[in-house]
Amino acid sequence: MSANFFETILTCLQEKNVEAKLTQLQDIQESWLSGLFSLSTTDEIQKIPNPGRPVQPILTAPKLLPKRKLGSKEGHAALMHSIAHIEFNAINLALDALYRFQEMPYAFYDDWLGVAVEESYHFQLIREHLCSLGYDYGSFSAHNGLWVTTYETAHDPLVRMALVPRTLEARGLDVTPPMIKKLQAIGDKRGVEILKILLHDEIGHVAVGSRWFNYLCEQQSKSPVRTFQETVDKYFHGNLRGPFNYEARIEAGFSTAEIEWLRSIEQGITY
C-alpha cells in the first residue's frame, strides 16, 4: 500500500530535530522519485501556527535582534546564522505548501519538493560554514517573520505564491549581491561561494512561485499584475522598497509590467 504523501510531508514539517527533519526529507524525495506515494487528500488540513523547529535559536522580534558589525568574528558568524535561519525556515515554507494545498496538479508537488530539497542543501552548506567559524545553528537569536506570513496565507495558494516566494523570498534576490560584496571585503571566500550558489538557486525557487501564481491567476481569470499588486497591498506587513535586483527578478518570472511597477516603487512614484 502506498504511503500518503500529504501525511508524510506533515510529519516532516512537524519534526523538531534538525537532523531528523533533513533525513526525513531525503527519504521523501527518494520515495517520490520511486513513485511510492499516494496523493489522496487528507480528511483534515491543519493550520500550523508553529512548524517543527529546535528549541534554539530563541525567536524574538526583528527590532530586538542585536546589531553586530560584520568586521568582528561574532558579527561575521551572526550574518551567516541569519542566513542559515532563513534557509531552515524555507524548508518548512516549502513543506507547508506541499501539505496545505492538496488540490494542485502533480507538477506543483514535484516543483515544491524540489525546492524543499534545495533549501535543505543550502541550510547544510551555511551551517557547515557557520561551524567552521566556531558557532552552530542556534548560537544566536532569530526572528519568525517568514512563518507569520506563511500562517496568514494558509487559506489560498494564490495568496501564498504571491506573498512568500514572490515577495518575501524574492527579497533575497535583492539583498544577496550586496552581502556577497561584504563577504568579499572581509576575505570570506567560502561564504562568497555559498551565497553565489544560493542566489542562483533562489532565482529558480522564486520562478516556481511565479509559475504557480500565474497558473492560479489564469485558472481564476484574474490579471496577474493587478492581483499581485492587490495581494501585496493587503497582506504584506512591511514596506516593499528597493533597490530591486531587476535582472534576477526577470529570470524569476516577473513580467515587464511587474518590473515597471517595482521601478515606480523604487522611484517613489505613486498613482
Asked which of 93-102, 144-153, 233-242 is least confident by mean pLDDT, the reply is: 144-153
Residues 6+ apart with CB under 8 A from 170: 206, 209, 249, 252, 254
54 closest CA partner among 27, 92, 93: 92
pTM over 0.85: yes
- Identify the pLDDT of residue 271: 46
Mean pLDDT to the nearest integer, 136-141: 93
Provide CATH code, domain 3-39+54-266: 1.20.1260
How many whole angstroms separate alpha carbon 130 and alpha carbon 262? 34
69-73 LR contacts (CB < 8 Å, sep 24+): 70/182, 70/186, 71/186, 73/133, 73/134
238 closest CA partner among 163, 143, 161, 142: 163
Q: Residue written as cell 524569476?
A: 252
Examine the pLDDT at 131 and tell me if it is beyond 60: yes
Mean pLDDT to the nearest integer, 91-119: 98
- Identify the pLDDT of residue 230: 94
CB-side neighbour CA atoms (13 Å) of 195: 24
Domain ranges of the chain: 3-39+54-266
How many whole angstroms separate alpha carbon 128 and alpha carbon 83? 12
Mean pLDDT to the nearest integer, 84-105: 96
Indicate the length of the chain as a whole number.
271
- Identify the pLDDT of residue 43: 93
Tell me the C-alpha to C-alpha distance, in Å, between residue 50 and each of 88, 163, 180.
Answer: 13, 18, 31
Examine the pLDDT at 247 and tell me if it is beyond 70: yes
